């Protein structure tokens, strides 16, 4: 009996989800891939993308939280592009791409502590072990390139929920994110596990041929065993991955101009620039979901020095990524998302710092399916709390899935006797930002 026949007659087949059952209606123009630029530590929205002139005017006055003093932003804001987005002087390079960006100024989350909020942003829950956004995406859309993992995360932090942030939880294990590198170690040194053979190419091939012969001999003896078929296939894929992955990881093939575009070679931007360029190479090669982690944005003190340093590390590479994706025709079907787990307070912590704020923060999106140059949501005069166009993490997840052509209420997985969703029983698609 052949493999196809077996899959027809058995419930063991590797079924992909039927997209028709899940379509959100956005499928025709849906982006195919995602680059999530995750800014760990919670960037200050009032110093970057949420312009609050009254906060500056009222510096030193009592803040909305009792016993606090407002702290104006020391960075000058100006408007950019036809969209007229207000952006602070900390992002001079990204500002030239203003018209590609769509800002969500009304972001809110629930727990003002990094681990919970970071997990919630990634999995929808800080309380329970749930599949991550990337795993759900992979599960819903399947693979674009069987030679590569479908979900890759670059330099994730080891704390804050660790691997749970890119885990598959109860989803089948193949949807788990493949980790490359860890936070605080240069990505230039990172590699996929077990990709390099210690043997010579010939010796390895001879060994693999023997494995294949042994497995085929077993198949002949037993006539039929889909698991052995699967094993043979997995070795072939691994061998191809061994061949293809190092090429994807090798930035040596990029021109000097491209590297410069991403700020590679400059100590300030090198690491994040490499991650961005890797992300582009990966989505280009067919990886479905790439996440880049970048920290630390947790500026409780020393905001004056630390925030500009954090911004400088990402500003030029962000422009590089967006312009490069666009010039290669990839931006129209790649969804780029940027943001951290929450925002920061308009009032001061100490002399020169800002505390956690879950009532308002800013994220942005660019690329396929998103209304470029738009903004949604408004915070109060100080940026303390979103007062209109609030977007919860569940709403944000619902919107991301919708953009990818998936209905967040229909993308379910049955586990422990019930159907689970990324958005649990919540989530509203932010239609206002759909192109």
Partner 1 sequence: MKPQIALLLIASAAAASEHDFFEAKIRPVLAEKCYGCHSVESGKAKGGLLLDSREGIRTGGDTGPAVVPRDPEKSVLIGAIRWHDPDTGMPPKNKGGKLPASVIADFETWVRTGAADPREGGAAAKKYDGMAAKGWWAYQPISRPKVPATKNTAWARTDIDRFILAKLEARGLEPVGRADSATLVRRLYLDLTGLPPGDEVVTDGLLDRLLDSRAFAERWARHWLDVARYAETTGGDVNVTLPEAWRYRDYVIDSIHADKPFDRFIREQLAGDLLPSKGEAERARNLIATGFLAIGAKSLNGTDPRQFAVDLADEQIDAVSQAFLGVTLSCARCHDHKFDPISQRDYTAVAGIFLSTDTRFGTAGGVRARNASSLIEAPDAAGLATVPRKMDPQTWQRKSTQLEKLAAQRDQALASRRPGARSGGGAEMTGFDVVRLITEAKKIEMEIGAFRSDGTLKPKIMGVLDKPLAAPATDRRKPGIGGPNASRRADSGFLAIADSPLFIRGSIENEAAAVTRGLPEILGGGKQLRIPAGSSGRLQLAEWIASRENTLTARVTVNRVWHWLFGKGLVETVDNFGASGAAPTHPELLDHLAQQFIDDGWSLKKLIRRIVTSNVYQLDTMHSEPRHLADPDNRLFWRMNARRLDAETIRDCMLAISGQIDLTPPRGSVIALAGDGPVGGERFRVLEEEAIETANGRHRSLYLPVARTVQSEALALFDFSDPSIVRGARETTIVPPQALYLMNSAFVSEAAGAMASRVMSRPGFDQRFDLACRLAFGRAPHPDETAAARRLGDSRESWVTICRALLSSADFLFIN
Q: Which of residues 56-85 bind partner 1 (CB under 8 A)?
A: none
Q: Which of residues 341-380 bind partner 1 (CB under 8 A)?
A: 349-350, 353, 355
Q: Which of residues 100-139 bind partner 1 (CB under 8 A)?
A: 111, 113-116, 119, 126-127, 129
> Residues 6 or more apart from 285 whose CB is under 8 A from it?
145, 148, 244, 248
Token pair in block for residue 366: 């660019």
Residue 326, interface with partner 1 (CB under 8 A)? no
Q: Which of residues 213-272 bind partner 1 (CB under 8 A)?
A: 213-215, 217-218, 221-225, 227-228, 230-231, 233-235, 237-239, 241-242
CB of 301 or CB of 333, closer to partner 1: 301
Applying CB under 8 A, the span of 257-265, 325-333, 360-368, 415-423 interacting with partner 1 comes to: 415-423
Residue 4, interface with partner 1 (CB under 8 A)? no
CB of 188 or CB of 210, closer to partner 1: 210
> Which strand (E) or helix (H) includes residue 311?
helix 303-327
CB of 328 or CB of 415, closer to partner 1: 415
> Which strand (E) or helix (H) includes residue 293?
strand 289-294
Radius of gyration from C-alpha coordinates of the chain? 23
Q: Exactly one of 23, 163, 190, 378 binds partner 1 (CB under 8 A); which one?
A: 163
Torsions phi, psi of 411, nearest 5? -80, 90
CB of 6 or CB of 54, closer to partner 1: 6
**286 conformational bin, left if phi > 0, alpha if psi -120 to 50, beta if neither:** left
Burial of 252 (0-12, 13-18, 19+ CB in 10 A): exposed
Residue 302, interface with partner 1 (CB under 8 A)? no
d(CA 114, CA 347): 19
294-to-176, 321, 382 alpha-carbon distances in Å: 20, 15, 27
CB of 156 or CB of 273, closer to partner 1: 156
Token pair in block for residue 300: 């409780």
Q: Which of residues 14-43 bind partner 1 (CB under 8 A)?
A: none
Number of neighbours of residue 150 by Cβ within 10 angstroms: 25
Q: What is the x/- site pattern for partner 1, positions 184-203, by CB under 8 A? A: --------xxxxxxxx---x
| Residue 394 beta carbon to partner 1: minimum distance, rounded to whole angstroms | 13
| Residue 2 beta carbon to partner 1: minimum distance, rounded to whole angstroms | 12
Q: Which of residues 167-186 bind partner 1 (CB under 8 A)?
A: 167, 169-170, 172-174, 178, 182
Cα of 5 vs its chain's centroid, Å? 39
Contact between 115 and 160 (Cβ < 8 Å)? yes
d(CA 293, CA 65): 31
CB of 88 or CB of 123, closer to partner 1: 123
């Amino acid at each position: 009996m052949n493999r196809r026949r077996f899959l027809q007659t058995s419930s063991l087949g590797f079924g992909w989800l039927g997209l028709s059952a899940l379509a959100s209606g956005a499928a025709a123009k849906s982006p195919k891939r995602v680059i999530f630029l995750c800014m760990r530590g919670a960037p200050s929205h009032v110093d970057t993308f949420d312009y609050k002139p009254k906060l500056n005017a009222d510096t030193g006055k009592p803040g909305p939280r009792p016993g606090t003093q407002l702290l104006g932003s020391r960075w000058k804001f100006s408007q950019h592009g036809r969209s007229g987005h207000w952006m602070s002087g900390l992002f001079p390079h990204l500002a030239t791409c203003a018209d590609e960006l769509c800002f969500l100024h009304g972001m809110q989350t629930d727990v003002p502590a990094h681990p919970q909020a970071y997990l919630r942003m990634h999995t929808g829950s800080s309380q329970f072990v749930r599949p991550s956004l990337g795993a759900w995406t992979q599960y819903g859309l399947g693979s674009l390139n069987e030679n590569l993992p479908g979900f890759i995360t670059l330099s994730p932090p080891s704390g804050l929920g660790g691997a749970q942030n890119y885990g598959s939880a109860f989803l089948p294990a193949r949807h788990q994110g493949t980790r490359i590198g860890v936070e605080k170690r240069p990505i230039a040194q990172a590699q996929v596990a077990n990709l390099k053979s210690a043997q010579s190419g010939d010796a390895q091939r001879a060994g693999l041929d023997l494995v294949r012969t042994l497995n085929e001999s077993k198949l002949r003896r037993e006539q039929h065993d889909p698991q052995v078929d699967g094993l043979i296939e997995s070795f072939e894929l691994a061998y191809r991955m061994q061949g293809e992955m190092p090429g994807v990881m090798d930035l040596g093939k990029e021109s000097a101009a491209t590297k410069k575009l991403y700020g590679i070679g400059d100590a300030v931007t090198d690491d994040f620039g490499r991650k961005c360029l890797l992300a582009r190479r990966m989505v280009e090669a067919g990886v479905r979901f790439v996440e880049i982690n970048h920290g630390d944005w947790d500026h409780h003190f020393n905001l004056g020095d630390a925030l500009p340093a954090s911004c400088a590390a990402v500003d030029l590479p962000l422009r590089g990524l967006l312009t490069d994706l666009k010039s290669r025709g990839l931006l129209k079907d790649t969804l780029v998302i940027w943001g951290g787990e929450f925002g920061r307070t308009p009032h001061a912590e100490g002399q020169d710092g800002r505390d956690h704020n879950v009532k308002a923060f800013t994220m942005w999106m660019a690329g396929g399916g998103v209304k470029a140059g738009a903004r949604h949501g408004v915070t109060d005069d100080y940026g303390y709390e979103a007062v209109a166009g609030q977007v919860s993490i569940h709403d944000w997840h619902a919107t991301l899935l919708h953009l990818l052509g998936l209905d967040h209420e229909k993308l379910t997985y049955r586990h422990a006797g019930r159907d689970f969703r990324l958005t649990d029983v919540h989530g509203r698609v932010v239609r206002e930002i759909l192109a």
